[in-house]
Amino acid sequence: MNIIEDIYKELFKLGLSETNHIDLQKIRDKDGIYLFRVNYKNKYFIIKYFFKEEYKREIKNYSIFKELNISTIKVFTHTDRSILLEDLERSENYRLGVRSDLSDIEVAKLLAEWYVDLHNKGEKYIDENCDNFYREIDIITKENVELVKDRSNTRGYKVWNIILDNYDLIFNKIEELEKTLTYNDFYWTNLAVSNHRKKAIMFDYNLLGIGYRYSDIRNVCSSLSEEAGKVFIKEYGNINETEKVMDDGLSILITLILAYKRSKFPEWAKESLKAVFNGELEKTFKKITKY
């Protein structure tokens, strides 16, 4: 496999055909997704190339955002395996997010506006379309619960019986929640803020999928500062309490499954594991089954 050769072939398909005028700079290579900065005749682009079939879904997700008129970064063109995007480091309209944006209350307000727009339009879209979207919740299988039990050495803890004995009930409750498009991948590295500070948008839509609104709200607020999180929630508006109750348990379980599917347990999952040991996860799932 020669990725550079593949990238040049994709660029040719994307209209950048004079290879002697192409200068490539590798930005990232992760899980079969390749990101390169392209200088073509002193014009700058980002090419995102998807080696794995399942990640090609992001190409369609950008098209959905355009169809729904949800603010996003500029897409120039695409093939069936790559997409050509504006280079935010040289954008006239946006700047890349920075860590300090997580504590900026003005950015928090703008983010809330973007998420409200996504959720409102996404709800109608999935109502009218039968697209096979990614669903974060699908990772919760009985086999994966068993995996967490075994690898965490907590097989004797009651929480697992509560989850497995009520598995169908829990998923029936999930199906009753109002569905919409959810972003699922908030962090400042996926954030762009307009130069006039009137918009904040998220980009990179590989994890875009079907879910419930509160999962995104929790996902955002877990990274924002306490003050910015409060501003985000106030600006976003009403929170569905049923969604919150469900998410309090489901989000921890999803985190643990993702963590134990890795060869080494990650730092970001330690708080979720603590919820098993201190009984918090058991308490949460008891509440879910009785809610």
pLDDT digits (tens, 9 = 90+) for 22-57: 999 999 999 899 999 999 999 999 999 999 999 999
Q: At 44, is the secondary structure helix, strand, or coil?
A: strand
The verdict on 60 and 102 lying in the same domain is no
Let me know whether 8 and 113 are in one domain.
no
Q: Are residues 167 and 249 in the same domain?
A: yes
Say whether both 109 and 88 belong to one domain. Answer: no
State pLDDT tens for residues 65-86.
999 999 999 999 999 999 999 9
Residue 199 and residue 240 share a domain: yes
The verdict on 166 and 45 lying in the same domain is no
**pLDDT of 289 above 70:** yes
For 105-142, letters b (16+ CB in 10 Å) and e give: bebbbbbbbbbeebbebbeebbeeeeeebbebbeebee
CA 74 to chain centre: 19
Instruction: Tell me: pLDDT of 130 over 70.
Output: no
Question: Which residue, 70, 92, 114, sits at the end of a domain?
Answer: 92
Amino acid at 188: W
CA-based torsion, 132, 138, 141, 143: positive or negative:
positive
pLDDT at 215 over 80: yes
- pLDDT tens-digit series, residues 216-263: 999 999 999 999 999 999 999 999 999 999 999 999 999 999 999 999
Instruction: Return the CATH number at 103.
Output: 3.90.1200.10
For all residues of the chain together, what is the average pLDDT? 96
Instruction: Check whether 284 has a pLDDT greater than 70.
Output: yes
Q: Final residue of a domain: which of 73, 92, 111?
A: 92
Which are the contacts of 117, defined by CB distance < 8 A and separation ≥ 6? 70, 71
Strands 94-96 and 209-211: unpaired
Query: What pLDDT is attached to residue 127?
Result: 87
Write down the pLDDT at residue 2: 87
Structural domain of 44: 3-92
Asked if 45 and 109 count as a contact pair (C-beta separation under 8 A), the reply is no
Q: Which residues of 36-45 are buried (b: 16+ CB within 10 A; e: fewer)?
A: bbbebeeebb
Residues 85-102 pLDDT 10s = 999 999 999 999 999 999
CA dist 32 and 53 (Å) reads 9
Reported residue count of the chain is 291
Domain count of the chain? 2
H-helix or E-strand containing 26? Answer: strand 22-30
What's the token pair of residue 60? 């369609």
Are the beta carbons of 59 and 14 closer than 8 angstroms?
Answer: no
* 129 — pLDDT class (breaks 50, 70, 90): confident
Please give the Cα distance from 40 to 21 (Å, whole number). Answer: 6
Question: Could you give the residue ranges of the DSSP H alpha helices within the chain?
Answer: 3-13, 57-68, 105-128, 142-151, 158-165, 167-176, 213-221, 226-236, 241-260, 270-277, 280-290
Q: Are residues 187 and 264 in the same domain?
A: yes
pTM (global) more than 0.75: yes
Q: How far is 115 from 136, CA to CA, in rounded Å?
A: 18
